[in-house]
Structure 1
Amino acid sequence: MKTYTERYAETLTQKLEPSLSKEAIISLIEVPKHRGHGDLAFPCFQLAKEWKRSPQAIAKTLAVQLNDPLFTSFQAAGPYINAFLNREVVAQETLTEILQKEEDYGAHDFGEGQVIVLDLSSPNIAKPFSMGHLRSTVIGNAIAQLAEKCGFETVRLNYIGDWGTQFGKLIAAYKRWGNEEAVKRAPIAELFKLYTRFHTEAVQLPELEDEGRYWFKELEAGNEEALSLWRWFREESIQAFNAIYSLLGVRFDSLNGEAFYNDKMEPVVTELQEKDLLEESDGARVVRLEASIPPALIKKKDGATLYVTRDLASALYRKQHYHFDYSFYVAGNEQTLHFNQLIQVLKKMGYCWAETMEHIPFGMILKEGKKMSTRQGKVVFLEQVLADIIQQAVQNIREKNPELLDQERVAEQVGVGAVIYHDLKHHRQNDVEFSYDDMLRFEGNTGPYLQYTHARALSILRKSKLSKPVYKEGATVTDQMWELITQLTYFPGHIADAFEWRDPSLLAKSIYKIAQCFNHYYAHTRILVGGDQEQKIALTKATAIVIKEGLRLLGIQAPEEM
């Protein structure tokens, strides 16, 4: 079904072509802030110069010429033409479509036949999964869900940090202070303790850095003791990560980490040499880029490869293996330069598909306004956060609804949903302040508020005993109903916008607005009594369908009871 913005644009196009195309008109149409100004508004400023008339005069002339049965009237208001939708027609069209399509409502097909590879999460082995890694995980997962809703096929990759000098440092720390039994009892916590101790003591013992470099060289050379410790650290870490991913409802198609590309980098270096792109700089090998971008360091003086080298190998492998149409890297703002260099090097190598690679940056999670640091031990562990917030949810449920069945499962859905929504409601490039209190509130713009609104709607449906309500033509559409129906009509467009801008917060705002309007409608309407009861139940069911689907796209479950 066409959006009502498109329908208004088509009506205007009949009068405005060739001065403005339909696409140009769509880009200009606005939603008025005040209900009295109509449902859609078109500004006439761009026509003034060509038509040699004032925008006010153009609006006044055009308003009386427009005609479309979907709209009850077109009114000139200064330089704007305000369009008023036919509430009864829109209500029937929108609610009938939602009730028929259910979870397919809002789907698009513009991505059909195209593949997107998403690189997300990417925690480092032997370190706890921090709140910092949460952002890449839930933002990437939501963008993948949105992409699938828009018709794309997705491939989700977890490019685990399982190689590099930090593992030489960890091996050195384990050799000095490690205890096998302690690591077996609590592997991640103990390894993290060793990692932070290494950096603390290296301040007073500079020779520790040499030990770390030595053990990483041994690891690269295939030293069996180093490899055995590395494999052990990796296996324990992945088991711990998988427990968190299971709780978050996040899946991956590949866990190939950095180590997977160890044997794939040298061919890349050879190709760069053959294409005469490598230059020497103070003993290192670099690829020079545009004047505004520093050279990409491919090999250090000692011959060691770097992140760009590895990511070049991974990009080439992914293109060959997955035949992607787009490749998204969901990584922090601080990695923008790295991905600019990666894409520019691939372009210089002659790979035009590098244009389809995109870095999707995001801000940090702050604690008391400051960046978290695993090296200094100043970090909040996601596993502990989830455990704490689920326990808080259990306590809330026992206080507010002690008769609820399966309290632990619902508390898990609420707690995990609270953590995910607290992240995704913010624009991804903004920093987010970590706050237990903000996450688990049952009012305002929070996950539990949206889940509770969904559960409230289902409770009404159960009491109504109308399993398949039908919205019939001719029902009275009150102001409260119209506010809600209008938001439901925007939902498909918000899905497309959230994907196009790679910004799940646009979808979060949409669901929140729907929940607000439903609760306002509920407060002013006796849904289960009085006239037009089936229509009111149809609106309630449509609202529940859309909120549940919106939450699913964000990676959040919608409990039936709370």
Structure 2
Amino acid sequence: MNIHNQYHWIRFTNLKPVYNPRKLDDSVFSENDFRHSYTFYHHAHDHLYQLCCGSLSILINQNHCNGKIKKLFEKPFIHYSNHCETVVVDYSSPNIAKPFHLGHFRATVTGNFVKNINEAFGNKVIGINYIGDWGTQFDILASGFSKYGDQVELRRNPIEHLYKVYVQVNRDIQSSNKKNLPYGIDHGDQSVNFFKPILNNTTEIQSRDTEFWRYIREVTCEQLQSNYQRMNIQFTSYEYESDYVEKAYALANMLLANGLAYKSSDGLTCMSTANNNDVNFSNQNIILLKSDKSTLYLTRDIAAAISRYEKYHFDRIHYVVEIGQRLHFQQLNYVLLKMGYNWPVLSMVGDDGDDNTDNDQCSQCARNLLHIPFGRIMGMSTRKGEGLFLLDILNNAQQFMLNRMKSSQNTRITQNESVNPPLLCQNEIADHLGVTCLVTTMFAYPRQKPINLQTFLGLPVTSSSTTMKNSHLLKSSAVSELCGLTLQYCHARLCSLESRSISSGLFPFKVNSSDPTSIVFDMDQLIHEFDQFKEWPSTTINEKSFVKLADQLCRFSTVLRTAYSKYEPHYVLQYALQLTSDVNSAWKHLPVLACTTKEDQLIRLFIFLASRNVLASCLRLMGIKPLNAI
């Protein structure tokens, strides 16, 4: 039977208090008292919930109270606002016909964190993947395919072949100094121009080109789905840039008719930013339509934002996009404000990563932040052919973990054995571990810092020339690469403790009535056991490692609020690593099954259960599946 239920409930409401903390005067505690509030949670349906609205609060005075537990009472963990906000998060958003690389990976996992932590704080979140399937880059690719493409190779290995074509055609552009071509590429007597704007507010593509375009979009999305499944990523909705071409054209003409835009002497449709003191691009023109009346990425983004607002009536919208696109979002913000929308806000107090920023002020701004920037992964230029495909990196990571598991004496899962729900064999577990390590490598650094990731688990991931040029930037180390493995091993060890506690009869359980193969913990019986305590075991609660672990658990709510206010997954990872370190320390000094008294056994098991739940919540916030056994 599966003894590891996905969600663990712990209730404390029936526990009898020794003191009422509201009636305690200052004479009860000295200046060195430790007033800790420990709250234990579980994670269900990708939301954090407080366990039965209860928490264990321990007031410890090591000098005068002999470390005894003085009070167990209810205290809410996250104070949800009365208004549940609707939040749209636009993230990942790759282009068709291009391979998924580490830059896309960082965009995806960072956006997924923003989505997860908003859900944790009770918001309704719509995660959108906005696929780039329109524009000049496709003209370049299609033109290059007519010269370098091979239909047989396209069917056999579409993304890799299209990538090679794209790299080669960009080399042609660079060598011929035609970097500013608005459409296609001339070669011989041919000129390819797929996107032909029509004056009657439509855009058409020749029928043969439509088939090519749709095929590329289809095969790209198939590979994306495979990558997202391995990364544990789910989106609410998929949108395509081509969905907004006609709306963007109509929008530009509406702005022109209302006097918010004008026609330049060279036929461009523009919006002026003259005499504007709120943006850094004052006296610049924002181009909305080209001279041939074709739309731009910005115009389509504006149309998409308005369409989403009309559909979802959101309170906030976030674009999780690389920091180099800051000007684009300044322009997007400016146009939307000019049109009368009041939800886009550009700047946030503390957005530079300053840890000393006032949390309340920062949180107030973060709730309306339009652009959530993240630092660039250096050496990932698809035009130059730099960087490995994410597929290759993940496959290498899987093999690395598989070899490590096979050589480790502590590995409990055989090649065909499955204990993790859903059923996972050794290969699948190795894949999860590889993804875990890559996610934590991204989160090992503050969100806005660039990363120069030269290798990952022994495999080069960037070009050597780029590595040399950016050697002064943040670099990944072997420690940061494997820190995710540390978290998963700790979680699996704590799950094993739960299993052995049930097997020994220490921890009460009952069979799930709805699923006879599943065992759930009988928390009512556990609470009854606690009620029988005449006093709390001083041999446990006076132990330094117990106090340190309990202190770390009480920090969880503060760390979570800070991570939410700044959208900083780095804080959650650092907390999880410290929690794991404290668990490992307590593990040495607080044996559960080997101690002599049941009171000691239960209170020790209790804090390890709490640690497992909090660690699992941290992993899920980062988009990582906690593994019950390795």
- Give TM class, smaller chain: 0.7 to 0.9
Structure 1 residue 344: Cα displacement: 1.3
Q: Structure 1 residues 111, 500: closer, same or farther in 2, change over 3 A?
A: farther
In structure 2, distance between residues paired with 1:444 and 1:205: 42
- Hey, what's the Cα distance between the residues in 1 that align with 2:498 and 2:450? 40
What's 2:223 paired with? 240
How has the CA–CA distance of structure 1 residues 141 and 365 changed in structure 2, closer, same or farther, with 3 Å as cutoff? same
**1:190-233, Cα deviation, whole Å (9 max, x unpaired):** 01011111011233456895644742334843211121111111
Gap regions ≥5 residues in structure 2: 1-10, 12-20, 43-48, 56-74, 186-190, 198-202, 346-367, 418-424, 459-475, 509-520
- Residue in 2 that maps onto 1:539: 607
Note closer, same or farther for the CA distance 1:456–1:528 as it changes in structure 2 (3 Å cut).
same
Higher relative contact order by CA 8 Å / sep ≥ 6: 1 or 2? 2
How far does the alpha carbon of each residue in 1:61-104 deviate from its partner, in whole angstroms, 9 at most, with x for none?
xxxxx9458x8323xxxxxxxx63246xx46x769997656999
Q: Are the counterparts in 2 of residues 120 and 136 from structure 1 also a CA contact under 8 Å?
A: yes
Aligned to 1:117: 88
Shift of 1:174: 1.3
Which of these residues, 259, 270, 278, is aligned with residue 286 of structure 1?
270
Aligned length: 484
* Pairing 1:510–2:530 present: no
Partner Cα separation in structure 2 for residue 161 and residue 195 of structure 1: 15
Determine if contact 1:102/1:545 at 8 Å carries over to the other structure: no
TM-score by length of 2: 0.71
Q: Does residue 1:448 correspond to 2:468, yes or no?
A: no
Partner residue of 2:557 out of 465, 486, 492? 492
CA RMSD of aligned residues (A): 3.0
Measure the CA separation in 1 of the matches of 2:325 and 2:167: 23
Residue type at the aligned position of 1:380: L
Percent identity for Structure 1 against Structure 2? 28
| Aligned twin of 2:625 | 557
Match of 1:73 among 30, 53, 57: 30
* Aligned-partner Cα distance in 1 for 2:50–2:331: 45
Question: 1:460-475 maps to which residues of 2 (within 5 A)?
Answer: 460-465=497-502, 466-467=507-508, 468=521, 474-475=536-537
Residue in 2 that maps onto 1:372: 380
Q: Equivalent residues in 2 for 1:203-242 (5 A)?
A: 203-205=174-176, 211-212=184-185, 214-218=192-196, 220-242=203-225
Deviation at 1:463, TM superposition (A): 2.2
* 2:373 equivalent among 361, 380, 401: 361
* Partner-residue secondary structure (3-state), 1:181: helix
Counterpart of 2:375, as a letter, is: G
Q: Which secondary structure state, in structure 2, belongs to the residue aligned with residue 529 of structure 1?
A: coil
Displacement after TM superposition at 1:440 (Å) = 10
Judged with a 3 Å threshold, the aligned counterparts in structure 2 of structure 1 residues 178 and 516 are, in CA distance, closer, same or farther, namely same
Q: Which runs of 5+ in 1 are unaligned?
A: 2-10, 15-65, 75-82
Relative to the length of structure 1, the TM-score reads: 0.80
- 1:151 matched to 2:122? The reply is yes
- State the partner residue of 2:350: none
Residue by residue, what CA displacement relative to the aligned partner does 1:41-69 show, whole Å, maximum 9, x if unpaired? xxxxxxxxxxxxxxxxxxxxxxxxx9458
Structure 1 contact 442–449 (Cα < 8 Å) conserved: no
- Deviation, 1:493, is 2.4
Q: Which moves more between the two structures, 106-115 or 522-531? A: 106-115
Give the match's secondary structure for 2:33: strand
1:2-35 deviation digits (Å, cap 9, x = unpaired):
xxxxxxxxx9xx9xxxxxxxxxxxxxxxxxxxxx
Are 1:336 and 2:326 matched, yes or no? yes
Q: 1:520 offset after TM fit, Å?
A: 1.2
Q: Structure 1 pair 258/216, CA: closer, same or farther in 2 (3 Å)?
A: same
1:437 corresponds to which of 448, 457, 462: 457
Pick the aligned partner of 2:34 from 59, 80, 85.
Answer: 85
Question: Contact 1:484–1:518 (CA<8 Å) still a contact in 2?
Answer: yes
Partner in structure 2 of residue 61 of structure 1: none
Quick check: 1:386 aligned with 2:335?
Answer: no
Evaluate the alpha carbon distance shift between residue 350 and residue 429 of structure 1 in structure 2; reply closer, same or farther with a 3 A threshold: same
Structure 2: how far apart are the matches of 1:343 and 1:200?
34
Moved more, 518-527 or 107-116: 107-116
Equivalent residues of 2:249, 2:289 under 8 A apart: no
Aligned in 2, Cα 1:426/1:443: closer, same or farther, shift over 3 Å?
A: closer
Determine helix, strand or coil for the equivalent of 1:364: coil
Structure 1: how far apart are the matches of 2:394 and 2:50? 34
- Decide whether aligned partners of structure 1 residues 443 and 129 sit closer, same or farther in structure 2, where only a CA change above 3 A counts: closer
Q: Secondary structure at the match of 2:432?
A: helix
Instruction: Summarize the Cα distance change of 1:111–1:426 in structure 2 as closer, same or farther, 3 Å threshold.
Output: farther
Higher helix share: 1
**1:280–1:270 CA distance, 2 compared to 1 (3 A):** closer
> 1:255 is matched with which residue?
238
